[in-house]
Structure 1
């Protein structure tokens, strides 16, 4: 039995076909650790064959759907599947366009160590994650490799997020086991940039309008009745501006001649002197002109 052909398997690659099924079809308890990662479960015969071949560790495999020519890469988690079957995460079966029980070719592969990867979230819900890089780093611990154009699935806070692998360096497929990899994200699918606020319109000379146009005489004007002054002078409506011109003050109209750093004190004009006839014909209000009363009479001063 021993001869020159006893080492024929040394240096050969592992290549065979299996019936593939999703992890939910795996007998026994539910295996969420397989579903949320990027590794497959193979039969024990595969381990026996791999141990007799010169396979480079860690074990990485190229999975190909011959019907659709779709391809991806994965690692292996366990060798406990039934003979002739392998179990894949559901997201991997969707990338390969495989149905339950479909044939898939499994071939051993050697991949370069990753240095860079770029992802695109497939939903804007991914923006709700506070630290997406930390979440992705923790999720990729269950993966062995990445393939460009794959849509991987990660789970965070009991919710699944899908990420499209846009780019990997230094190759189209890379190993991410014990590597220092830079990660970038692009805008999620369906994300739109917020509208930029328009700059406020600046008033030009053509747009300037006379301030008197804004005065509405039909509106209620508070304190518009007549009044009396305590000094006896008549309340006037004409005031003298800081420039020496008489201007009527209107409520709600700003002073457009105001200059920064300048304070203007508006004073009432001095009332004109009245003649004797005008004083007699028009009664002038005098403040505190009534008679007063005292508690002590004049004749009782000094008497107890």
Structure 2
């Protein structure tokens, strides 16, 4: 049965390490500094890698787990990150019991950020993956500290799997699934459905900005004043008198061109750049009375289709042809 490493050390925060061996980023990790004689004892006991330790405050009965970063501390001392000092409720110079333990490899961890500022990180999973490289273990109810972009974030460990008596897992060389709980102080936004107000139907013909651009009022007035091209009355084959067609009365006073533009609904992917303005063609002969001598004009057509009659007099033959009664000629 292998023997266990079990020693008592006085604990100090990393900030109190001598400048020659001090590491600034060690405060935001999960590893401790032990003296060189601890390495000799661990080697003699054949403690296998990774070397994981249980840190116990017997006075408060508080514990956590960690790895070791270096064996450079002074004899009888152990240096801890500040968040470990807070977790164990110890002061500089307090006595800690350090024991090596075999912590199971982790498969799952659920964490809870201690501030809503953690939501400002664009990719928290990538940041956490990079930060966990400085940790060897994660223990339930520990509040670790993460330094990202010169901002310190507190993260509490809520749950770990697989479950064990240690309530801790090893995060070295393992595939770890991570779940995030809502940050402390986070309030879920309340979304309310907004009722769309239907526009009230207008009693007048309201024209928008397009009416201004094409001068619709003057076009409507000009259309009402057009001269009729054909005069007379229509006749029915039945002999009944045709009813005259009434003109549509256009009340120009009801046209309002100062209103808002009506919504233009187009299918997806179609753009609208306005209607083309095509001015009407003006007929110069409009308004002239047709002369009685030229009511019907045109050219006649022959069934022979060999010669086109330009005039009725030209088609008359100078001498009448005499035919025998037995011969019939059809023009």
Give TM-score, length-normalised by structure 1.
0.65
Match of 1:73 among 65, 84, 102: 65
Q: CA RMSD, aligned part only?
A: 3.5
In the TM superposition, residue 110 of structure 1 has moved relative to its aligned partner by: 0.3
In the TM superposition, residue 37 of structure 1 has moved relative to its aligned partner by: 1.2
Structure 1 pair 64–211 and aligned structure 2 pair: CA distance change class (3 A):
same
Residue matched to 1:26:
17
SS state of the match for residue 16, structure 1? strand
Residue matched to 1:13:
4
Task: Work out whether 1:97 is the aligned partner of 2:89.
Answer: yes
Match of 2:80 among 79, 88, 94: 88
Residue matched to 1:301:
none
Which structure dedicates a bigger proportion of its chain to strand? Answer: 1
**Mapped partners of 1:192, 1:240: distance in 2:** 64
In the TM superposition, residue 198 of structure 1 has moved relative to its aligned partner by: 2.7
**Mapped partners of 1:211, 1:86: distance in 2:** 84
- Give per-residue Cα distances to partners, 1:163-207, cap 9 Å, x unaligned: 11111110220111100111111111111122313321667xxxx
**Mapped partners of 2:125, 2:79: distance in 1:** 29
Match of 1:146 among 120, 127, 138: 138
**Mapped partners of 1:57, 1:84: distance in 2:** 23
**Mapped partners of 1:232, 1:84: distance in 2:** 109
Give TM-score, length-normalised by structure 2.
0.60
Between the two proteins, the alignment pairs up a number of residues equal to 227
User: Highest CA radius of gyration, 1 or 2?
Assistant: 2
Residue matched to 1:292:
none
**Mapped partners of 1:253, 1:176: distance in 2:** 65
SS state of the match for residue 141, structure 2? coil
Structure 1 pair 62–200 and aligned structure 2 pair: CA distance change class (3 A):
same
Contact 1:211 1:253 (8 Å CA) reproduced: no
**Mapped partners of 2:174, 2:8: distance in 1:** 30
Q: Which runs of 5+ in 1 are unaligned?
A: 1-9, 213-228, 234-238, 256-304
Q: Which runs of 5+ in 2 are unaligned?
A: 204-220, 226-247, 263-331
Contact 1:113 1:174 (8 Å CA) reproduced: yes
**Mapped partners of 2:260, 2:68: distance in 1:** 81
**Mapped partners of 1:69, 1:15: distance in 2:** 17
